[in-house]
C-alpha cells in the first residue's frame, strides 16, 4: 500500500516536473516571440522617428530658405522705395527752386504792373482834365449825363420788350379767360328781376281805402308809424301803394295790410296784433329759406346766424339787383370757374355765397358791408379763403387763391351784365368825372374823354412831349390809378392816342 502510494506520488512529481518543464519551455518561446515583436516595433518606431526628424529638418531648412528669400525681397523693396524717395526729394527740391524763381519773377512783374497802373491813372486823370475842359462839364456831370442817356435808351428797349411779352401773355390769358367765362355762362342760366321801390296792394273795393285811412286818419298813421313805410292812397281805383327802400320792411307791411283787408277789422289794436304775427312768421321764414339754400348747395353745416342773414338777403337790393339772387349767381358762377381753373368747387361756392353777407346788416347797423361781413364770418370761424373773397371782391386785398379770384370774377360778371343793375345818375356822372380827371392830371396829356357809358376813356397826348414807348407806360399808369381810386363795375378801357401833325402853308 505504501509502495503504491510512493509510486503514485513519484509519478505525480514526475508529471509535475515534466509539466513545469513543458510550461517553462513554452513560456520561453512566447517570451522570445514577444521580445522579437517588441524589438521589431521599437525598430519601426525608431525608423519612423528618424524619418520625422529628417522631414522636420528638411522643413526647417526650406522655411529658412523662404524666410531668407522674403527678407531679401523686402530689403530690395526698401532699397527701391528709398531710391524713389531720394528721387522725389530731388524733384521737389528742383520744383521748390523753380517756384522760388517764379515768385521772384512775379514780384518783379507786380512791381512793374503797379508802376504801369500808377502811370495809367496819371494819364487818365490828365485825359479827364482835358476832356472836362473840352466838354465844359465836370466828370460827375458827364457821368450823370451818360447814365441819363443809358437810362432813356434802356427805358425804350424795356418798354418794347415788356409790351411784346405782355401782349403775348394777354392773348393767352384772354383765350383761357374767354373759355372759362363761356363755360360758366353757358352752364348757368339764372333769372333776373329788378327790385322796385313800391309794392301794389289790390283792394276788393274803394271802400277799404276809407277803412285803411280810418277816422281822422288814425289807422293810416298807426300803420305808417308801426310798419315804418309810406302808404300812398291816390285816386287810382282798387289799389294802394306801399313805398320804402327797405324790402324786408316793405314785405312785412304789404303782408300785414293784406291780412287786415282780408279780415276786415282795421283798428290800431288789430294792426299791432297782425303786425306782430306777420313779423314772427317772417323771422321763421327767412331762417327756413337760408337753411334750404345751404342744404341745396351742399354747404351744410353753417352757423344759424349766417343762414338767417342769407334768408334776409331776399329782402335786400343793391343798385336795383336783388342781393340774394346776385349772391346765388356769384356762388354758382364762381364754383364753375374755380373747377375750370383746378380749384376747390365747394370752397368757391361757400365763398361766393358769403361774399356779400354783410349787406344783410348794413340797413340796421350801418357801415361798410365788407367789414360787417368779415366780422360775422370770423365770429363763426369761416375758412380764410371766404374772408379773403369778402375783402378781395371790393379790392381791399389781393385774391390769395383760385377760389377767391373766381368769386371776384363772378361778382363782376353778375353785376355788369346788361340789365343787372341800375345806377344813380349822380354817381355815374361823378365816376366819369373822376376818370377824366385822373387822365388829365398826367404830364403831356392834352384832352381826355370818357365814352361808351364810362367804360372807355380816350386820352390824347402831345406828340412832341410823349414818345411811343412813353405812350405804353402812360396807359399803364392811368389804368393803375383808375383801379386804385375809382369804384366801378366791370372794366374800363384806357385808350391813349398819340398823333404827330406838321402844318405848312404854300404861298
Specify the number of domains making up the chain: 3
| Separation CA 155–CA 466 (nearest Å) | 13
Look at residue 227 and tell me if it is in a domain. yes
- Rounded to an integer, the average pLDDT of 171-187 is 59
Q: Where does the pLDDT of residue 193 fall: very low under 50, low under 70, confident under 90, or very high at 90 and above?
A: very low
User: What pLDDT score does 312 carry?
Assistant: 85
Q: Helix 139-187 and helix 402-416: axis angle, to 10°?
A: 70
**Mean per-residue pLDDT of the chain:** 79
Burial 135-164 (b: 16+ CB within 10 A, else e): eeeeeeeeeeeeeeeeeeeeeeeebeeebe
| Domain assignment of residue 484, given as a range | 425-498
The residue among 13 and 452 whose pLDDT is bigger is 13
Look at residue 362 and tell me if it is in a domain. no
Q: Do 126 and 202 have their domain in common?
A: no
Nearest to 383 by CA among 288, 330, 306, 310: 306
User: What pLDDT score does 478 carry?
Assistant: 92
**Is the pLDDT at 328 greater than 70, yes or no?**
yes
Query: Residue 306: which residues within 8 A CB-CB, separation 6 or more?
Result: 290, 354, 357, 376, 377, 380, 382
User: What pLDDT score does 195 carry?
Assistant: 45
User: What pLDDT score does 453 carry?
Assistant: 67
Q: Which of 264, 297, 330 is the last residue of a domain?
A: 297
Which pLDDT tens digit goes with each residue over 264-316?
888 888 888 888 888 888 888 888 888 888 888 888 888 888 888 888 888 77
Query: Which CATH number goes with the domain that contains 439?
Result: 3.30.300.20
Judged by average pLDDT, the poorest of 288-297, 338-347, 362-371, 440-449 is 362-371
**Is the pLDDT at 192 greater than 50, yes or no?**
no
Pairing of strands 456-461, 445-451: antiparallel
Look at residue 465 and tell me if it is in a domain. yes
| Separation CA 81–CA 374 (nearest Å) | 86
Joined grid coordinates for residue 46: 525608431
Q: Where does the pLDDT of residue 218 fall: very low under 50, low under 70, confident under 90, or very high at 90 and above?
A: confident
Q: At residue 443, what are phi and psi to the nearest 5 degrees?
A: -65, 135
Judged by average pLDDT, the poorest of 153-162, 174-183, 263-272 is 174-183
- Rounded to an integer, the average pLDDT of 434-443 is 89
Q: Tell me the whole-structure pTM to 2 decimals.
A: 0.47
- Rounded to an integer, the average pLDDT of 340-345 is 85
Q: Which of 297, 321, 343 is the last residue of a domain?
A: 297
- Rounded to an integer, the average pLDDT of 407-435 is 70
CB 261 within 8 A of CB 208: yes
Which pLDDT tens digit goes with each residue over 373-382?
889 999 989 9
**Is the pLDDT at 95 greater than 80, yes or no?**
yes
Nearest to 251 by CA among 185, 164, 157, 317: 317
Q: Which of 265, 297, 329 is the last residue of a domain?
A: 297
Q: Do 115 and 202 have their domain in common?
A: no
- Rounded to an integer, the average pLDDT of 381-407 is 87
User: What pLDDT score does 438 carry?
Assistant: 92
Q: Do 207 and 292 have their domain in common?
A: yes
**Is the pLDDT at 104 greater than 80, yes or no?**
yes
Q: Where does the pLDDT of residue 166 fall: very low under 50, low under 70, confident under 90, or very high at 90 and above?
A: low
Look at residue 390 and tell me if it is in a domain. no
Q: What percent of the chain has pLDDT over 70?
A: 80
**Is the pLDDT at 196 greater than 60, yes or no?**
no
Amino acid at each position: 500500500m505504501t509502495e503504491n502510494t510512493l509510486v503514485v506520488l513519484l509519478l505525480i512529481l514526475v508529471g509535475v516536473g515534466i509539466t513545469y518543464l513543458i510550461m517553462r519551455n513554452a513560456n520561453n518561446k512566447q517570451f522570445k516571440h514577444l521580445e522579437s515583436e517588441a524589438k521589431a516595433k521599437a525598430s519601426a518606431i525608431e525608423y519612423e522617428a528618424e524619418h520625422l526628424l529628417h522631414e522636420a529638418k528638411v522643413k526647417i531648412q526650406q522655411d529658412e530658405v523662404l524666410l531668407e528669400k522674403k527678407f531679401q525681397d523686402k530689403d530690395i523693396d526698401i532699397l527701391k522705395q528709398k531710391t524713389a524717395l531720394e528721387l522725389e526729394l530731388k524733384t521737389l527740391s528742383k520744383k521748390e527752386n523753380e517756384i522760388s524763381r517764379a515768385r521772384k519773377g512775379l514780384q518783379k512783374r507786380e512791381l512793374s504792373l503797379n508802376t504801369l497802373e500808377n502811370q495809367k491813372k496819371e494819364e487818365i486823370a490828365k485825359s479827364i482834365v482835358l476832356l472836362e475842359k473840352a466838354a465844359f462839364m465836370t466828370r460827375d456831370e458827364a457821368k450823370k449825363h451818360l447814365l441819363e442817356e443809358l437810362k432813356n435808351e434802356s427805358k425804350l428797349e424795356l418798354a418794347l420788350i415788356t409790351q411784346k411779352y405782355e401782349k403775348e401773355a394777354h392773348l393767352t390769358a384772354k383765350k383761357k379767360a374767354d373759355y372759362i367765362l363761356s363755360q360758366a355762362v353757358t352752364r348757368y342760366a339764372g333769372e333776373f328781376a329788378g327790385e322796385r321801390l313800391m309794392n301794389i296792394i289790390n283792394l276788393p273795393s274803394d271802400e277799404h281805402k276809407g277803412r285803411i285811412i280810418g277816422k281822422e286818419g288814425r289807422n293810416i298813421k298807426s300803420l305808417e308809424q308801426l310798419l315804418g313805410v309810406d302808404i300812398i292812397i291816390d285816386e287810382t281805383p282798387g289799389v294802394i301803394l306801399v313805398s320804402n327802400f327797405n324790402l324786408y320792411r316793405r314785405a312785412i307791411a304789404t303782408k300785414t295790410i293784406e291780412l287786415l283787408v282780408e279780415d276786415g277789422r282795421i283798428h290800431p289794436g288789430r294792426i299791432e296784433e297782425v303786425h306782430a304775427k306777420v313779423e314772427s312768421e317772417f323771422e321763421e321764414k327767412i331762417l327756413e329759406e337760408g337753411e334750404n339754400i345751404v342744404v341745396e348747395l351742399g354747404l351744410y353745416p353753417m352757423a344759424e346766424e349766417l343762414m338767417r342773414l342769407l334768408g334776409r338777403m331776399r329782402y335786400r337790393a343793391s343798385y336795383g339787383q336783388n342781393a340774394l339772387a346776385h349772391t346765388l349767381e356769384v356762388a354758382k358762377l364762381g364754383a364753375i370757374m374755380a373747377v375750370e381753373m383746378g380749384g376747390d368747387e365747394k370752397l368757391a361756392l361757400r365763398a361766393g355765397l358769403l361774399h356779400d353777407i354783410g349787406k344783410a346788416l348794413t340797413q340796421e347797423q350801418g357801415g361798410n358791408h365788407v367789414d360787417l361781413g368779415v366780422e360775422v364770418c370770423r365770429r363763426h370761424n369761416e375758412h380764410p379763403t371766404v374772408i379773403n373773397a369778402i375783402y378781395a371782391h371790393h379790392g381791399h386785398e389781393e385774391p390769395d387763391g383760385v377760389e377767391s379770384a373766381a368769386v371776384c370774377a363772378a361778382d363782376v360778371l353778375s353785376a355788369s351784365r346788361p340789365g343787372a343793375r341800375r345806377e344813380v345818375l349822380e354817381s355815374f356822372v361823378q365816376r366819369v368825372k373822376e376818370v377824366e380827371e385822373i387822365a388829365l392830371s398826367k404830364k403831356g396829356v392834352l384832352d381826355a374823354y370818357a365814352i361808351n357809358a364810362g367804360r372807355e376813356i380816350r386820352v390824347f397826348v402831345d406828340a412832341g412831349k410823349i414818345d411811343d414807348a412813353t405812350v405804353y407806360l402812360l396807359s399803364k399808369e392811368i389804368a393803375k390809378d383808375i383801379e386804385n381810386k375809382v369804384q366801378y363795375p366791370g372794366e374800363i378801357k384806357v385808350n391813349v392816342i398819340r398823333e404827330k401833325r406838321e402844318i405848312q402853308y404854300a404861298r
